Amino acid sequence: MIDVDPADVDFLQSSNIESDSDSQQGPLASAISSEENTNLRDCVERLSDRQQKSVALAFFRGFTHQELADCLAEPLGTIKSRLRRSLQRLKDCLKSMDEEIEA
């Protein structure tokens, strides 16, 4: 069984992910990128603990669905459903934030 490090989950909430191209952008692009990171962090915090852990392991540690199922001792179908629902919730949350900004 694979141990889940709480830092993997905390990474989603505390990181400021930047690519090399982000560091070469001007102040406006950097401000937008910073706002997007803040919005993503806010949306991730709205997920349940199980959803946060699943997303962190799948997308930042590169676990396959089967590895997640083994690690979390849950059925494969449960993992797939949880990830799908989590991604949909993140998408909806980010979309609503964009709509608030545009209004």
Q: Which two tokens stand for residue 102?
A: 């545009």
Confidence of residue 99 (pLDDT cuts 50, 70, 90): confident
Environment class of 55 (CB within 10 Å of its CB; exposed 0-12, middle 13-18, buried 19+): buried
Q: Which two tokens stand for residue 66?
A: 């089967």
CB 43 within 8 A of CB 90: yes
Its pTM stands at 0.68
Q: Enumerate the domain spans of the chain.
A: 6-13+22-102
Q: pLDDT tens digits for 26-38?
A: 665 666 578 888 8
Q: Which two tokens stand for residue 68?
A: 């997640």
What DSSP character marks residue 61? Answer: S
CATH code that applies to domain 6-13+22-102: 1.10.10.10
- Residue 20 confidence (pLDDT): 45
- Residue 1 confidence (pLDDT): 43
Q: pLDDT tens digits for 10-19?
A: 555 454 444 4
Confidence of residue 55 (pLDDT cuts 50, 70, 90): very high
CB 63 within 8 A of CB 57: yes
